[in-house]
């Protein structure tokens, strides 16, 4: 049985998608980051970086969403391209890990959550997030899936963040990346995707983004009093 530590943010959701697509038995364990549960001693023993997702598979601990996708794909033999495409698989998987995720996260922070407006930072991260999604859009022109001829873990990794494009870049942002939108919609229509998104609704995650939540999510700020 796989134990899956998660919340409803993009990175855990793409792992949930794999688990649902592969039909793997798993026990979901909610980690409420707005309550600071990611910094408990028990969780830090699994991921010293204090981030979800994490899986524990019969004693084997894997953290970072793209590492988990690759681990599960190799363990099960599912959703991997032919061996001749492994270079492309790794390249695009790392592109999501080092580009799409970090720039989207910073774009969201400065667009929605920064306590003071920082025009330079906002413009910088909006530009880079938009540029990275543009790279995906151009790659998907004339092709259905990211790597090879079949749906696979890179598509899952992309979908985890692509579903947040309007929140990252603003309403109407999908208009500039129609190939990515088509790709997103194809995955979102899959029953496993609906189950992955709905997983968070089974748990009472803290909804309020109050001073307590900010103190846990943004550790560089002064603690809540």
Report the pLDDT value the prediction gives residue 225, as an integer from 0 to 100: 39
- Average pLDDT along the chain: 96
Q: Do 87 and 167 sit in the same domain of this protein?
A: yes
**Residue span of the structural domain in which 63 resides:** 2-78+195-217
User: Does 106 fall in a domain?
Assistant: yes
Domain count, the chain: 2
Q: Do 101 and 179 sit in the same domain of this protein?
A: yes
| CATH code of the domain covering residue 205 | 3.40.30.10
C-alpha torsion 197→11→217→180, nearest 10: -80
pTM: 0.95
Q: Is the pLDDT of residue 153 over 50?
A: yes
Q: Do 205 and 176 sit in the same domain of this protein?
A: no
pLDDT band (50, 70, 90) for residue 223: low
Tell me the pLDDT tens digit for each residue of 69-117: 999 999 999 999 999 999 999 999 999 999 999 999 999 999 999 999 9
Q: Do 23 and 90 sit in the same domain of this protein?
A: no
Q: Do 109 and 153 sit in the same domain of this protein?
A: yes
Q: Do 91 and 168 sit in the same domain of this protein?
A: yes
User: Does 10 fall in a domain?
Assistant: yes
Share of residues in the chain with pLDDT > 70 (%): 98
Q: Do 120 and 88 sit in the same domain of this protein?
A: yes
User: Does 9 fall in a domain?
Assistant: yes
Q: Do 67 and 128 sit in the same domain of this protein?
A: no
**Sign of the dihedral defined by the CA atoms of residues 57, 59, 65, 67, in that order:** negative
Q: Do 66 and 88 sit in the same domain of this protein?
A: no
- Please name every residue paired with 27 in a beta bridge, in sequence order, or none if there are none: 3
Tell me the pLDDT tens digit for each residue of 46-80: 999 999 999 999 999 999 999 999 999 999 999 99
Report the pLDDT value the prediction gives residue 25, as an integer from 0 to 100: 98
**Each residue of 60-84: b (16+ CB within 10 Å) or e?**
eebbbbbebbbbbbeeeeebbbeee
Q: Do 182 and 201 sit in the same domain of this protein?
A: no
Please say whether the beta carbons of 93 and 154 come within 8 A.
yes
Please say whether the beta carbons of 2 and 24 come within 8 A.
yes
User: Does 224 fall in a domain?
Assistant: no
Q: Is the pLDDT of residue 222 over 70?
A: no
| CATH code of the domain covering residue 152 | 1.20.1050.10
User: Does 225 fall in a domain?
Assistant: no
Q: Do 205 and 185 sit in the same domain of this protein?
A: no
User: Does 223 fall in a domain?
Assistant: no
| DSSP assignments along the chain, one per residue | -EEEEE-SSHHHHHHHHHHHHHT--EEEEE--GGGTGGGSHHHHTT-TT--S-EEEETTEEEESHHHHHHHHHHHHT-S---GGGHHHHHHHHHHIIIIIHHHHHHHHIIIII-SS--HHHHHHHHHHHHHHHHHHHHHHTT-SSSSTTS--HHHHHHHHHHTTHHHHH-TTGGGG-HHHHHHHHHHHTSHHHHHHHHGGGGS-------HHHHHHH-TTSPPP-
User: Does 27 fall in a domain?
Assistant: yes
Q: Do 96 and 168 sit in the same domain of this protein?
A: yes
């Amino acid at each position: 049985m796989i134990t899956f530590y998660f919340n409803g943010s993009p990175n855990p959701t793409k792992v949930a998608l794999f688990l649902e697509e592969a039909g793997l038995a798993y026990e979901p364990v909610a980690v409420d980051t707005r309550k600071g549960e990611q910094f408990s001693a028990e969780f830090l023993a699994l991921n010293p970086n204090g981030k979800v997702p994490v899986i524990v598979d019969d004693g084997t601990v894997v953290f970072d969403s793209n590492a988990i996708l690759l681990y599960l794909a190799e363990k099960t033999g599912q959703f991997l391209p032919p061996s001749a495409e492994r270079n492309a698989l790794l390249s695009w998987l790392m592109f999501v890990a080092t580009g799409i995720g970090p720039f989207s996260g910073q774009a969201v922070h400065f667009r929605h959550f920064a306590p003071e407006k920082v025009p330079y930072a906002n413009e910088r991260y909006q530009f880079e997030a938009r540029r990275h999604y543009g790279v995906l859009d151009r790659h998907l022109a004339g092709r259905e899936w990211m790597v090879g001829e079949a749906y696979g873990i890179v598509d899952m990794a992309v979908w985890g963040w692509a579903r947040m494009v309007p929140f990252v870049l603003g309403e109407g942002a999908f208009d500039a990346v129609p190939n990515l939108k088509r790709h997103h919609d194809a995955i979102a229509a899959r029953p496993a995707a609906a189950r992955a998104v709905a997983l968070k609704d089974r748990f009472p995650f803290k909804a309020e983004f109050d001073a307590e939540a900010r103190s846990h999510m943004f550790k560089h700020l002064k603690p809540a009093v």
